[in-house]
Amino acid sequence: MEAKLVKGLSLKALVDVEKNRVVFVESEDDLIDILLSFLTMPIGSIIRLIRDQPPVVGIGCMDNLYESVENLDVQFFRTEACKSMLLQPRNGAAAQCASLKLTIDDSEPLQYFCCESEKCTISQHKLLSHYRNAICGCGRLMSRKFDLTENKQLLLDARNRGVFVKGLARMIVSDELKIMPPGTATSFSLLSNLGLTDGSTIEERVFKIGVDQDPDFERFLKSDDHKAMLISPKVAPGFKLGNQPLGVEEYKHQQHFYYSYHIGYSYAAKLTCQETLLPSSESDSFRRTLLSVMDPKLHYMDNATSSGGFVIESTMFKVTDNLIITPISPMSGLTVLSKLKVPFSDIEERVVHVGKEEASRLLVASFVTKSALTNAFIQKYPKQE
């Protein structure tokens, strides 16, 4: 894992020397923002970032799921972009996380491509792609790369410095990552809870700590939008599935303007999300076009009502109990049975319905067990006599 260390973080830690453990750390907004940003990370990024870290720890069956995607040939995906979307998913709060002092997620920054035909970009399909060589509605490649023209405001006011929490907020972080406002009583209660002081001399307090529960905490967050990014994060634009039973929401794309202009004999074409950078009206020497961002999961020949999944339709896959996914071949079922040493007489076919409840159970089982399908379905569908 490569971490971008811009500047070291200063932490004041209280350590229980006898038991060799941290009681709590007192820190400014930087560390708090880094911890809170963990809540915005897509699962695929978490798996990718931790899989090579010693000691190697898996997260239930999620590693198998990730590895299955790595091993699947790109021909099984709807578009080339689908495979990279799964292996290197975008964080819906990537713009905010880019301001963190310590960046753990080393995902590539967002890229911008337009159709190789400028005429198509300006007056025909008017498309933008975040993936190189997607195919435009006209059948040409989206191959012209642009940098986004931005007017980055200098945030000189220290109160605007924080990413999720307001700047200059000092917080206490306990060993089990509970975040709370500082205060002598807080510190004493932590000590007391850990049995480090005489309980009779310390006032006991009950903490309800969590971003969504503690209004003491809430006032340290920058806005309700920032709070929503942490407690109900959405997936990045373009990542939502049409038939996804868990009801995960998707962030909306920003507006993207393609603008071109003549200055003397020279001609330039640029891309921006900031309408304020554009002149208020068009002229002979200046044109602007509002672009639509392509759904990276859709093939250009698909119609707009297609559900746009990640894998191509009409292909059957086999999913093992520990979530290894492979395309079906006539021999694949037999191979699994022989590996598991299960006699054919003990095998029966069952049909399960996957609704929201089952999908939620499957998600939980994928995180906490090595037998996701068994845990998600067999308990609810016990063997019938």
Positions that interact with Zn ion (CB under 5 A):
115, 120, 125, 136, 138, 140
Q: Which two tokens stand for residue 375?
A: 């845990």
Q: Which residues lie below 8 Å from residue 271, measured CB to CB, with a gap of 6+?
A: 112, 114, 128, 146, 147, 148, 149, 256, 257, 258, 259, 291
Closest CA to 45 of 274, 261, 289, 236: 236
Residue 125 to residue 115: CA distance in whole angstroms: 9
* Residue 272, strand partner residues: 257
- CB 258 to Zn ion: min, Å: 12
**Toward Zn ion, which CB reaches closer, 32 or 120?**
120
Q: Would you say 61 and 372 are in contact if contact means Cβ atoms under 8 Å apart?
A: yes
Instruction: Tell me the closest approach of the beta carbon of residue 96 to Zn ion, in angstroms.
Output: 33
Write down the least CB distance from residue 271 to Zn ion, Å.
15
- Omega of the bond prior to 55 within 30 degrees of 0, cis? yes
The angle subtended at Cα 266 by Cα 126 and Cα 294, nearest 5°, is 15
Work out how close the CB of 139 gets to Zn ion at its nearest, in angstroms, rounded to a whole number: 7
Query: Residue 129 is encoded by which pair of tokens?
Result: 């792609």
Of the pair 125, 226, the CB lying nearest Zn ion is at: 125
Q: How far is the CB of 112 from Zn ion (least distance, A)?
A: 15
Question: 125 is written with which tokens?
Answer: 């399909």
Residue number, 140 or 170, with CB nearest to Zn ion: 140
Q: Determine contact, residues 234/92, Cβ cutoff 8 Å.
A: yes
The nearer residue to Zn ion, 146 or 188, going by C-beta atoms, is 146
9 Cβ partners below 8 Å, 6+ apart?
Answer: 27, 30, 31, 34, 101, 102
321 within 8 A of 362, measured Cβ to Cβ: no
Smallest gap, in angstroms, from Cβ of residue 123 to Zn ion? 10
Please state the closest distance from residue 115 (CB atom) to Zn ion, in A: 3
In the complex with Zn ion, the residue whose CB is nearer, 115 or 365, is 115
- CB closer to Zn ion out of 104 and 271: 271
Q: Where are the alpha helices (DSSP H) in 150-271?
A: 184-193, 215-218, 224-231
Contact status, residue 32 vs residue 172, Cβ threshold 8 Å: no
Nearer to Zn ion, 136 or 169 (CB): 136
